[in-house]
Chains A and B, each alone.
Chain A
Amino acid sequence: MKLITVSGPPSSGKTSILLNAIKALLADNKKVGVVKFDCLSTDDDKLYAALGVPVRVGLSGNLCPDHYFVSNIDDCIEWGKESGLDFLLSESAGLCNRCSPHAKNVLAVCVIDNLMGINTPKKVGPMLKFADIVIISKGDIVSQAEREVFAFKVRQSNARAKIIHVNGITGQGAYELTSLFYDANETETLNGGTLRFSMPAALCSYCLGETKIGKDYQMGNIKKIKA
């Protein structure tokens, strides 16, 4: 089974693009499943289910979504193998831009959109900088020049990735995207695998539920601003 991890800032078009990619894979008689990771709630599973593909949802609640993802991905792989999938797509929202869900030897995709502003590619961390494929969406509503400048900025942040434009509404580019999915490695398990980059660190009193504010309550991994 080919596992593909897809991440990207909220509302960048991950789901729309994957829906179009899935249609192309289904047309080729492939068996596809999706794991949707989100924070508080999601309705995207219904959109996937409407295409008739098996889908699982993981809600991280008050945990860092990245940490939640990495603690659960192996179970999802097991589920995918049991379901006899050819492709398992994991979709996770990158909320703090420092997210780092990509593992070595697993095809890593980042979705980013043209409307996010010219400085966004440099602000997004490992989920963009360590991706194998960067998909740029929403190109149908900005000018050609802005698309070119934005793609250049993405190139500055990740000189090695394949950059591809996909339109989540019309699906233009989705077929081409799936041709890259076929080149993904087979993933039997991620047990013993390695992340491409460390995840955002979190171990302080607030991680453990502290609600009081003030020096006396700050413990653990604390970083101070130079105000």
Chain B
Amino acid sequence: MNSMELLEKEITTIIKEIPYIGTLFETYGIRPQNDSVRLGQYLDTLTDEFYEDIGIDRSQLISNLVGFVALADQQPVFKVNSVTIIGGHDKSGKPEDKTITLHVGSITSIVGPTGSGKSRLLGDIEWLAQGDTPTGRSILINDAIPDTNLRFSLEHKLVAQLSQNMNFVMDASVGEFIAMHAESRMIKNVEQIVGEIIRQANLLAGEQFTNDTALTALSGGQSRALMIADTALLSTSPVVLIDEIENAGIDRKRALQLLVKNEKIILIATHDPILALMAEQRMVIKNGGIHKLITTTPQEKANLVALEELDAKMLALRNRLRSGEIIDNA
């Protein structure tokens, strides 16, 4: 829809046709006495002083409204099936000599000391680098060179990040907030998706919470569970980077399965052996470059089973402590 068409429409019709544009009208103080007035007509009645006060002029306001409408009727997101990293060089200029393709539903762990270049690798993926970043790497999407205009597209943001330093800071209940997130994605069946995310999050979290729980009152494990369920079901980003997840209060295996099931490409930056070995492969980062790609061996997978048993034992002890028991046999 262009600006002429939009201005000719009645405000009630616009609100009915375009999801969530009502809240945008409120943002700009557009509150007509008579809803059947055409948008253009209404904007003409506003004084210069009104525009001065809202800090935007008529033409910019219209351009924003048109931009918002374009957002609402954009084509469905194209589907990412694979991301390919074509190696560049490390900090000393040594070539990486590697081409790594990550497919949806795969889990790759990333290991390497702080400052080794994990953020830069993620940065390269997110920026759809084409040999134009300090590492000289190139990124392919679905085996083809991507359109670099997608770099600034919020809707096609490639990487969603999740780290244990992240917290919910918003003053809202869980239900309200997820609904707000669904709204920002212009999703129509909000109630259904909110219900499903909370259900999934509760399957991951040790302790249950509801729609009405305040976001900021969630425990660490509950927050992480909600973040993962929300990322799996509501985020458009095909790549999910997990920067460690705490061991307490969340079923990590199930969390990864949820992301895999929702066709994410999962990267885990971790030095926790259980998390690292859950991945099919791990990337070793050294001096700014991808140093090695190790496929998790059958022996490692067998060791994982032993580690998980150990982990389950710790978890059981934790639960016994929580319920007030005495730990006389460990």
Contact = CB atoms under 8 A, between A and B. Distances in A.
Interface of A: 27, 98, 100, 114-115, 117-118, 122, 124-126, 129-130, 139-146, 148-149, 151-153, 155-160, 162-164, 167, 170, 172-173, 175-176, 179, 197-198, 201
Given A126-B55, A176-B151, A144 B27 contact: no
Contacts of A118: 170, 180
Please report whether the interface of chain B is mostly helix, strand, loop or mixed according to DSSP.
Answer: helix
B60 interface: yes
The interface size bin for chain B is 35 or more
Nearest to A158: B64
A145 B64 contact: no
B127 A176 contact: yes
A176 B163 CA distance: 22
Most buried by B among A114, A141, A152, A162: A152
Interface of B: 24, 27, 52, 54-57, 60, 63-68, 70-71, 119-120, 122-123, 127, 132-134, 151-152, 154, 157, 160-163, 165-171, 177-178, 180-181, 184-185, 223, 227, 230-231, 234-235, 237
Given A126-B56, A152-B154, A144 B230 contact: yes
B170 A130 contact: no
A159 B66 contact: yes
B225 to A, nearest CB: 12
Q: Which 7 A-B pairs have the closest CB atoms?
A: A159-B67, A125-B55, A152-B184, A122-B27, A162-B152, A159-B64, A144-B160
A115 B169 contact: yes
A141 B167 contact: yes
Given A144-B235, A145-B234, A172 B119 contact: yes
Given A145-B234, A149-B180, A197 B57 contact: yes
Most buried by A among B123, B132, B223: B123
Contacts of A159: 63-68, 70-71
B230 A145 contact: yes
Nearest to B115: A170
Contacts of B67: 155, 159-160
B132 A179 contact: yes
Contacts of B181: 145, 148-149
Contacts of B56: 125-126, 129-130, 197
A148 B162 CA distance: 13
A37 to B, nearest CB: 19
B152 A163 contact: yes
B235 A148 contact: yes
Contacts of A162: 152
Contacts of A158: 64
Contacts of B122: 172
B71 A175 contact: no
24 contacts: A114-B169, A115-B169, A118-B180, A125-B55, A129-B55, A143-B166, A143-B167, A143-B227, A143-B230, A144-B161, A144-B235, A145-B231, A148-B235, A149-B184, A151-B154, A152-B154, A152-B184, A156-B24, A159-B63, A159-B68, A160-B63, A160-B64, A163-B152, A170-B119
